[in-house]
Amino acid sequence: MAEQGMCSRREADAFIERGWVRVDGVVVSELGSKAWPNQKITLERQARQRQQERITILLNKPVGYVSGQAEKGYRWAAALIRPETRYRNDRSPLKFDPSHLRGLAPAGRLDIDSQGLLILTQDGRIARQLIGEDSEIEKEYLVRVQGKLGASGLALLNHGLVLDGKKLRPAHVTWQNEDQLRFILNEGRKRQIRRMCEQVGLKVVGLKRVRMGRIVLGDLPSGQWRYLKEGERFF
């Protein structure tokens, strides 16, 4: 079910325990049951309704906030999700409710020194789309740098670098202006862009994520948020 993008593994277990999963029309009741690729997996109405109630939030994270749970005195980005910080042009009909913060988790982190589009979601399907091992969703960043890039530096940023003993996937890196690069990646290693730049003699002095798949940061102000609208998709 997770491989087909129907839900997360945790959700799949919960749905099976409740009898909300069918394979070729037969209810599955045992955790760990397997289905062949040619078999049809369906969810009962209760499971689909539960998924529709999952909340996804787009936040323009400022520098100085951590994406995950706060630690060592750092501020958690989700603490910015309050009625008074909601974007005034948010077109979603949803009304803010404290339950929308329950189980909210980042799908694609931004480190404390970075800013821009942060996706926080209760929906395991969206998390898998964005950060699953097989995810092909593009992430776009504007990166301000200092230093001099050698003759082969830009080519290496696009393809040829290694992090933690593993080759990076091909990227699309271009100059935006004289001191800013545009990175388009479809993977997300820890502090990847900063470490890539270090390898070619550049220092990152500013990093902003502006897009994840088809969802763009747009004019969402720093420190404000909005709901992912019905019909909006990452791919």
Q: How far is CA 96 from the centre of its chain?
A: 21
- Is 203 a member of any domain? yes
CATH of residue 181: 3.30.70.1560
Q: Are residues 114 and 75 in the same domain?
A: yes
Q: Which residue among the candidates 13, 90, 111, 179 is catalytic per the annotation?
A: 111
Q: Are residues 42 and 155 in the same domain?
A: no
Question: What pLDDT does residue 9 have?
Answer: 76
Q: Is 111 a catalytic residue?
A: yes
Question: What pLDDT does residue 12 have?
Answer: 83
Amino acid at 5: G
Could you tell me what percent of the chain has a pLDDT over 90? 63
| Cα atoms found within 13 Å of the Cα of residue 227, Cβ hemisphere only | 19
Q: Are residues 46 and 111 in the same domain?
A: no
Question: What pLDDT does residue 79 have?
Answer: 93
* Distance of alpha carbon 129 from alpha carbon 139, whole angstroms: 12
Question: What pLDDT does residue 46 have?
Answer: 75
CATH of residue 128: 3.30.70.580
* Distance of alpha carbon 25 from alpha carbon 20, whole angstroms: 11
CA proximity to 41, closest of 32, 28, 53, 54: 28
- Is 169 a member of any domain? yes
Q: Are residues 108 and 91 in the same domain?
A: yes
* Distance of alpha carbon 2 from alpha carbon 70, whole angstroms: 29
Q: Are residues 113 and 124 in the same domain?
A: yes
Return the higher-pLDDT residue of 8 and 127: 127
Q: Identify each DSSP E strand in 20-164 by its residue range.
A: 21-23, 26-27, 41-43, 56-61, 65-66, 75-76, 105-106, 115-121, 139-146, 162-163
What average pLDDT does range 43-68 have in this prediction?
85
Question: What pLDDT does residue 51 have?
Answer: 62
User: What is the model's pTM?
Assistant: 0.82
Q: Are residues 119 and 219 in the same domain?
A: yes
- Is 190 a member of any domain? yes
Q: Which domain holds residue 121?
A: 56-134+215-227
What average pLDDT does range 225-234 have in this prediction?
92
- Is 233 a member of any domain? no
- Is 149 a member of any domain? yes
- Is 2 a member of any domain? no
Q: Are residues 44 and 89 in the same domain?
A: no
* Distance of alpha carbon 177 from alpha carbon 118, whole angstroms: 24
pLDDT tens per residue, range 202-217: 999 999 999 999 999 9
Q: Say if residues 127 and 107 touch (Cβ distance below 8 Å).
A: yes
For the chain, how many structural domains are there in total?
3
